[in-house]
Amino acid sequence: MSFPILSLLILTPIIGALTLSLSSSTQLKNKTIFLSGLWITTGEFLLSLLLPIFYDKSKNGYQFIEFHTWFDKFDINYYVGVDGVSIPLILLTTFLVPICLLCSINSIQNRAKEFVIYFLLLESFIIGVFVSIDLVIFYVFFEAVLIPMFLIIGIWGGENRLYATFKFFLYTLAGSVLMLLAIIYIISKVKSGNIELISDFTFDQQIELVLFLCFFASFAVKVPMFPFHTWLPDAHVQAPTSGSVILAGVLLKLGAYGFIRLSLPFFEYASIYFQPMIFALSCVAIVYTSIVALRQLDMKKMIAYSSVAHMGFVTIGIFTLTQDGINGAYFQMISHGIVSAALFLIVGVVYERHHTRMISDYSGVTNVMPKYSFFFMVFMLSSVGLPGTSGFVGEFLVIMSTISVSVYLTFFTAIGVILGASYMLLLYKNINFGDLKSDIKQLADLTNIEIFYFSCLAFLTMILGIYPKLLFEMINKSISLSIL
């Protein structure tokens, strides 16, 4: 029995949350609570750094495996392990959660203890999704993520938060229950929830198509793909900054991760069969939401729509079913996780100072906040996909891989890149340049804490852009095994 690092990763935030909840709330100051939360999550981040260090890249299959029987009678087991596909996402999660807490020290004044507790629970549930290799426990964590997120948006959100949080919860739940039925059916057929065993099992073709659609319903809502994306702008606009960061940074990746981890290896025939549908939906997502983003007046909404467009690249890349495509999609996931999180933080910074998200209320910000403009530029360019930043690698690989499928597909994805550049540049121009408005003058530049986390994020985008091999080394082998 080796060191149970994965269980420790899941349990640390939960234990932290429990100790926090047992402490008396009246005596603790907000700052103390946030600091203790930060200590816990930073410890968690350091702990998760052990994963890439001790992960053996030369081996096939899952590592750090832990197995305990959970329900004897139903053959449901606590079965966790990681491979190259899950480790970067775990790192992304543990990296973003402390930043979420850091950015809300000032903005979250009321009910700070609850806030930190919900974030800790959220973190452990998300990690649970990424490490589980049994279907039932995967579903348990996948659904459990909804509870803290529902509360975070509902309690600390904007004026229309109830609508947004209900929409978020019910949309996701409606997708997930179909997946639950499919999971039950699969388990009844295969007599096991083990992901590896199910991958080897072949279903009847007709049934496989239905099962694929059930899984698709759940993941497409989570990603979100085109017709199911309407909850995302609402949730993003109403969520507090930290909520948007974790939503864009990690929660959207759960869907894409599900596609890679479950849909592709389980339903090989159906993945090819539904390829055209997914390409069509993703192309619509890329072009349509980019055009919608161009006309947005609200900064957060614009970035939310850009998220839909960027995740369109991810789904296209995944379903090209080539090594390059999936590599690119995966890279895009990680890069989007960092960049969109950073962009929401950028919006959060000015919102906290000026209390408005309307683009037209800002102008000439660069005159008073030069450091802010600098970081904004870095992330904007990365989102656009400038070579040298992380955004470029993913988009480039995806577009390259689409050529082998269809030139039209390449055409539409490339249009998406151009549209993406236009709305991001427009946003940057409108906010940072132009005449300095009188009420903008008193805005203070970034504080040291803000500079600290922005530089961390900027450093990550740069390093991934310049040396993408860092990530590819990790994922190559695992992905090549999960392809047909």
Say whether residue 170 binds other proteins (CB under 8 A). Answer: yes
Nearest Cα residue to 82 out of 70, 94, 98: 94
Contact segment (CB under 8 A) with other proteins among 146-154, 280-288, 425-433, 448-456 equals: 146-154
In angstroms, give the least distance from the CB of 113 to other proteins. 10
Which of residues 38, 173, 359, 451 is near other proteins by CB under 8 A?
A: 173
**Dihedral Cα 201, 202, 203, 206, nearest 10 deg:** 160
In angstroms, give the least distance from the CB of 158 to other proteins. 12
Q: Are 157 and 239 in contact (CB under 8 A)?
A: yes
Which of residues 180, 368, 443, 466 is near other proteins by CB under 8 A?
A: 180
Which of residues 26, 27, 56, 73 is near other proteins by CB under 8 A?
A: 73
Say whether residue 65 binds other proteins (CB under 8 A). Answer: no
Gap between the terminal Cα atoms of the chain: 33
Backbone phi and psi for residue 16, each to the nearest 5 degrees, phi listed first: -60, -45
Which of residues 8, 147, 209, 284 is near other proteins by CB under 8 A?
A: 147
Residue located via tokens 């991760």: 257
In angstroms, give the least distance from the CB of 388 to other proteins. 43
In angstroms, give the least distance from the CB of 151 to other proteins. 6
Which of residues 169, 226, 305, 375 is near other proteins by CB under 8 A?
A: 169
Say whether residue 184 binds other proteins (CB under 8 A). Answer: yes
Say whether residue 28 binds other proteins (CB under 8 A). Answer: no
C-alpha 309/C-alpha 224 separation (Å) is: 9
Burial of 202 per CB tally in 10 Å (0-12, 13-18, 19+): exposed
The residues near 293 (Cβ < 8 Å, ≥ 6 apart) are: 302, 305, 306, 309, 419, 423
In the range 368-387, which residues lie near other proteins by CB under 8 A? Answer: none
C-alpha 391/C-alpha 279 separation (Å) is: 21
Q: Which amino acid is at 34?
A: F
C-alpha 95/C-alpha 45 separation (Å) is: 6
In angstroms, give the least distance from the CB of 119 to other proteins. 16
Which of residues 151, 209, 414, 466 is near other proteins by CB under 8 A?
A: 151
C-alpha 289/C-alpha 269 separation (Å) is: 30
Cβ neighbour number for residue 150 with a 10 Å cutoff: 18
CB nearer to other proteins: pick between 160 and 480:
160
In angstroms, give the least distance from the CB of 112 to other proteins. 14
Sign of CA dihedral 268, 272, 278, 279: positive
**Dihedral Cα 365, 371, 373, 376, nearest 10 deg:** -140
Map residues 187-216 to x or -, x wherever contact with other proteins holds by CB under 8 A: xx----------------------------
The residues near 324 (Cβ < 8 Å, ≥ 6 apart) are: 397, 400, 401
Sign of CA dihedral 2, 9, 481, 324: negative
CB nearer to other proteins: pick between 81 and 148:
148
CB nearer to other proteins: pick between 166 and 273:
166
Please give the full DSSP string across 33-62, using - where no structure is assigned.
HHHHHHHHHHHHHHHHHHHHHH--TTS-S-
Say whether residue 72 binds other proteins (CB under 8 A). Answer: yes
CB nearer to other proteins: pick between 95 and 138:
138
Say whether residue 162 binds other proteins (CB under 8 A). Answer: yes
Contact segment (CB under 8 A) with other proteins among 149-157, 317-325, 440-448, 454-462 equals: 149-157
Say whether residue 144 binds other proteins (CB under 8 A). Answer: yes
Structure tokens at 470: 């860092």
In angstroms, give the least distance from the CB of 295 to other proteins. 31
In the range 104-143, which residues lie near other proteins by CB under 8 A? Answer: 136, 139-141, 143
Q: Which amino acid is at 206?
A: Q
Contact segment (CB under 8 A) with other proteins among 86-94, 178-186, 359-367, 425-433 equals: 178-186
CB nearer to other proteins: pick between 144 and 368:
144
| Residue environment code for 453-481, b if the CB has 16+ CB neighbours within 10 A, otherwise e | bbeebbebbeebbeebeebbebbbbbbee
CB nearer to other proteins: pick between 150 and 330:
150
Say whether residue 297 binds other proteins (CB under 8 A). Answer: no
In angstroms, give the least distance from the CB of 24 to other proteins. 11
Say whether residue 185 binds other proteins (CB under 8 A). Answer: yes
C-alpha 349/C-alpha 352 separation (Å) is: 5
Contact segment (CB under 8 A) with other proteins among 57-65, 90-98, 170-178, 386-394 equals: 170-178
Count, residues near other proteins per rule CB under 8 A? 32
CB nearer to other proteins: pick between 181 and 280:
181
Residues of this chain that interact with other proteins (CB under 8 A) are 70-74, 136, 139-141, 143-144, 146-147, 150-151, 154-155, 161-162, 166, 169-170, 173-174, 177-178, 180-181, 184-185, 187-188
